Amino acid sequence: MLLNRLFVITFLSISLFAQEGEEIPISEVRDNKIKALLEIVKENRDIYVSEDKERLNKFINLVDEREKMLQKAKTQLANEQNRNKRLEKTFEENEKTLAELEDSLQIKIGVLGELFGVTRQFAGELLASSEKEVTFFEYNDRPDVLKKVGSKKVHNLDDFESLWLSYFDQIVAGSEIIKFNAPITLPNGESIAGNVIRYGLFNAVYNNKFLEPKPSLNSFQLLASQPESSVTKSLKKHGKANEYAAISIDPTRGFLLSLYLDKAGWLERIAQGKSIGFIIILIGLIGVAFSSYKLYLLSFYNKEILDEKNSDSIISRMTAVSQSSSSNESKENSIDELIVNYSAQVEWGNNWIKFFAAVAPLLGLLGTVIGMIETFQAITLFGTGDPKQMAGGISQALVTTMLGLIVAAPLLGLYTYLSEKSSTILQYLEERASYLLSKV
């Protein structure tokens, strides 16, 4: 098309040039244009014909390809329909066969159905009870056997024997004390191998310390928190005994021992009293320290009054005053003045100890009030459905009261002892003063 346009433009240009150079008749110009247009039409016809043929051939080829694809899809559809019919027929036949087999099974089972149910039940109970028992390491294949028995609908003789032997192993294990080597996980995560002593089905012990079975790790875990020393001492005594000996065990098979992990220590209990609890402890320490210092002073005063050879002692001064005084009245006044001054030194600090002993329970009462306020606030916010929400306030109330009484009792005892000791010293001074005044 572009060549045709160029040809027309060239032809018209030549015609214009020719007209400018030489005048051509109009009829001749018209004939020349018609001829040129005819030539263009002939050439375009050939081009369009070839393009149409090419387009037609391409369309015919595409039609053949689509017909082949359609034929293939029809063939696949027919095959799938036939396959669907075969599968439906097979499914119906299998359903009939399954129903017949179930009827046959029910007929064969008869009264044994209850026996199989009890077998599954006992297998499940033994599996649940032995999953976290101390015997897991010795009978590590028992869970697989019990799972197999518990999953079967119809059992054979081997299944009954396996369950029977498992229960016999459990009975025997509950009546023996044995030692075996097993992996042990320490509280810091380190794993070691050691000799474990198993006491029946109740507890496992390593180095006189209780262990917790961990079947998931295939090892025993040493408890981070152990019972009181009296319990562990019984384990030590039993290990050294050559005959029957009493031993402490956990009859709940580990539940009580697990509670020791949540048992609060002394520092944790004091921390439950919060700031009031620490203040009470601080007052108690100050009171004990002050009482110790006061006891030291009284011991020094006691030695001083007994040492008559010391010229600086109170007895020596009282003797010197009595000898230097001319009259009994002046002698009595001088000795009374010495005793009063010395009494102030001896009795100094006793009232402070009494103050510490009195303020400690008062702070405990303050902590109790604060704890109860927090408890009622928790009840207001969360209700009484969850006791854990109230436990913090109740713990503070009880712990502060306990700490106040613990601090007050010994401080009150120290105050009484120091007061008696001070009175004894002063009584001795008064007796010595009476003796000096009685001399002529």
- Cα 423 to its chain centre, rounded Å, is 59
The mean pLDDT of the chain is 79
Share of the chain above pLDDT 70, in %: 84
Both 149 and 256 in one domain: the answer is no
Query: What is the pLDDT confidence band of residue 6, given thresholds at 50, 70 and 90?
Result: very low
Q: What is the mean pLDDT of residues 229-252?
A: 79
Q: What is the mean pLDDT of residues 293-299?
A: 88
Q: How many residues does the chain have?
A: 440
Q: Check if the beta carbon of residue 211 is closer than 8 Å to that of residue 231.
A: no
The answer to the question of residue 109 being in a domain is no
Q: Phi then psi for 387, rounded to 5 degrees?
A: -65, -25
The answer to the question of residue 407 being in a domain is yes
Last residue of a domain, one of 156, 173, 190: 173
For CA atoms 137, 140, 146, 151, give the dihedral sign: positive
**Better-predicted residue by pLDDT, 264 or 72:** 72
Last residue of a domain, one of 263, 291, 325: 263
Q: Phi then psi for 205, rounded to 5 degrees?
A: -130, 140
SS3 129: helix
Both 45 and 131 in one domain: the answer is no
Both 147 and 295 in one domain: the answer is no
* Longest Cα separation, the chain: 189
Query: Which CB contacts under 8 angstroms, 24+ apart, belong to 422-426?
Result: 422/298, 422/346, 422/347, 422/350, 425/298, 425/301, 425/302, 425/305, 425/346, 426/339, 426/343, 426/346, 426/347
Both 18 and 123 in one domain: the answer is no
Query: What is the pLDDT confidence band of residue 109, given thresholds at 50, 70 and 90?
Result: low
Q: Check if the beta carbon of residue 229 is closer than 8 Å to that of residue 220.
A: no
Both 311 and 425 in one domain: the answer is yes
Both 206 and 65 in one domain: the answer is no
The answer to the question of residue 93 being in a domain is no
The answer to the question of residue 102 being in a domain is no
The answer to the question of residue 107 being in a domain is no
6-10, 208-212, 358-362, 380-384: which is most confident: 358-362
Q: Check if the beta carbon of residue 361 is closer than 8 Å to that of residue 403.
A: no
**Cα separation, 286 vs 284, whole angstroms:** 5
**Better-predicted residue by pLDDT, 196 or 4:** 196
What the block records as the tokens of 389 is 């929400």
Q: Each residue of 380-425: pLDDT tens digit? A: 777 766 666 666 677 777 888 888 888 999 999 998 988 888 888 8
**CA quadruple 145, 151, 156, 158: dihedral, nearest 10:** 0
Query: What is the pLDDT confidence band of residue 24, given thresholds at 50, 70 and 90?
Result: low
Write down the pLDDT at residue 228. 76
CA-nearest of 353, 371, 347 to 412 is 353
Both 46 and 155 in one domain: the answer is no
Query: What is the pLDDT confidence band of residue 189, given thresholds at 50, 70 and 90?
Result: confident
Q: Count structural domains, the chain.
A: 4
CA-nearest of 159, 372, 51 to 380 is 372
Print the domain residue range for 249: 179-263
Q: Each residue of 123-150: pLDDT tens digit? A: 888 888 877 788 888 888 888 888 888 8
Both 281 and 354 in one domain: the answer is yes
Kindly report which listed range (58-72, 267-281, 315-329) carries the lowest average pLDDT score: 315-329
Both 345 and 362 in one domain: the answer is yes
Both 243 and 372 in one domain: the answer is no
The answer to the question of residue 154 being in a domain is yes
Both 227 and 158 in one domain: the answer is no
Both 419 and 299 in one domain: the answer is yes
The answer to the question of residue 63 being in a domain is yes
